[in-house]
């Protein structure tokens, strides 16, 4: 698979952009476990052009995590073009436009998935960005606004005609948010459309190697994007790649292996974030790393309330000492075989 001149090999695995999750520290962890392509957290065009500190900070990317894309969202064409030009100066491999975020405060302003209610504006915005930057431009969107407006087949053609180099489709409508099951049938129909020439990346409910292989084989997508299933389980990329290559399911990492990953993640978070911020933003991951261990609730609570790096390391060490080679799930319960 290629996006513009970016070669990603066969069956590439993408880490989805997620607010307060896909920061540099987590991207490093996912890269180490086999993610082929990653994105920054999504960035507000308004925040970026107004030089907002939080938005500008999200432009920080590092050579070790390449290839990487910067994802932008907004509802004003001129602001999105200006933001794309600013983002281009950070030297990512591509610019991605977020037409998929369903969060109320974003979508109800007409940004993210809210653009699905104004397709002409969506097309005009995409074309303006494509024409303004030199990097490849890609789009991430959903099937439609709601069950009565699943417009993705026609929309995909119109987006392709603007000059984008790849399209990611989340198999839900905006109205679904993240509820119910992702519908991949329409993603497959987009991929099977003879008019479509750009790569199609499928997203939604990929939480196991078996599911990943099924989506590649049944729907023919060029790549798959994984989001929520990576939180607390960054090794899912390794597991999927191994299964695609060998047909063999790897066992769940031992608690000792998870402790190593958690400590590595902690060190990277402290490296990239100032003060206590690195600890606060790591808590969601730390909690999930050791999820599923029996009688761990009190220890996990300490882990996600401590603000001292040395104390966190000590707690992780205690978990390692107590559980060691224990695997919280065997591959049958994790992957449903």
Q: Which two tokens stand for residue 272?
A: 């990239």
Residue 101 catalytic?
A: yes
Query: How many CA atoms lie within 13 Å of 105's alpha carbon, on the beta-carbon side?
Result: 1
Pairing of strands 13-15, 223-226: parallel
What number of other Cβ atoms are within 10 A of residue 193's Cβ?
Answer: 15
Peptide bond preceding 67 in cis form (omega within 30 of 0): yes
Q: Cα Rg for the chain, rounded, in angstroms?
A: 20
Tokens read off for 125 = 């915005």
- Which one of 15, 48, 49, 101 is the catalytic residue? 101
Alpha-carbon distance values, 78 to 45, 56, 71, 333 (Å): 10, 18, 16, 50
For tokens 């107590």, the residue is 322
- Let me know: does 223 contact 138? Beta carbons within 8 Å: no
Helix (H) or strand (E) holding 51: none
Enumerate the active-site residues. 101
């Amino acid at each position: 698979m290629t996006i513009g001149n970016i070669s990603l090999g066969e069956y590439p695995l993408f880490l989805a952009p997620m607010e307060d999750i896909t920061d540099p520290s987590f991207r490093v962890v996912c890269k180490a476990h086999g993610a082929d392509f990653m994105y920054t957290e999504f960035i507000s065009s308004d925040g970026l052009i107004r030089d907002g500190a939080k938005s500008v900070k999200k432009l920080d990317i590092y050579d070790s995590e390449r290839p990487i894309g910067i994802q932008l969202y907004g509802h004003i064409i001129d602001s999105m073009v200006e933001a794309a030009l600013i983002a281009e100066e950070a030297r990512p491999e591509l610019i991605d436009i977020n037409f998929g975020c369903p969060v109320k405060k974003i979508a109800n302003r007409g940004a993210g998935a809210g653009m699905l209610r104004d397709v002409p504006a969506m097309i005009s915005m995409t074309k303006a960005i494509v024409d303004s930057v030199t990097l490849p431009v890609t789009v991430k969107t959903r099937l439609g606004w709601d069950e009565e407006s699943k417009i993705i087949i026609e929309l995909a053609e119109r987006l392709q005609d603007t000059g984008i180099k790849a399209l990611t489709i989340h198999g839900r409508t905006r109205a679904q948010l993240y509820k119910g099951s992702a519908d991949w049938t329409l993603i497959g129909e987009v991929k099977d459309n003879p008019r479509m020439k750009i790569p199609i990346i499928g997203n939604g409910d990929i939480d196991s190697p078996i599911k990943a292989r099924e989506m590649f084989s049944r729907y023919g997508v060029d790549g798959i994007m994984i989001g929520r299933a990576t939180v607390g389980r960054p090794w899912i990329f390794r597991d999927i790649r191994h299964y695609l290559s060998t047909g063999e399911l790897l066992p769940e990492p031992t608690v000792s292996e998870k402790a190593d990953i958690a400590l590595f993640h902690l060190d990277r978070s402290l490296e990239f974030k100032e003060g206590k911020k690195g600890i606060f933003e790591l808590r969601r991951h730390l909690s999930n790393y050791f999820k599923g261990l029996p009688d761990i609730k009190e220890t996990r609570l300490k882990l996600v309330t401590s603000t001292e790096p040395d104390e966190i390391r000590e707690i992780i060490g205690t978990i390692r000492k107590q559980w060691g080679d224990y695997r919280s799930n065997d591959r049958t319960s994790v992957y449903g075989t």
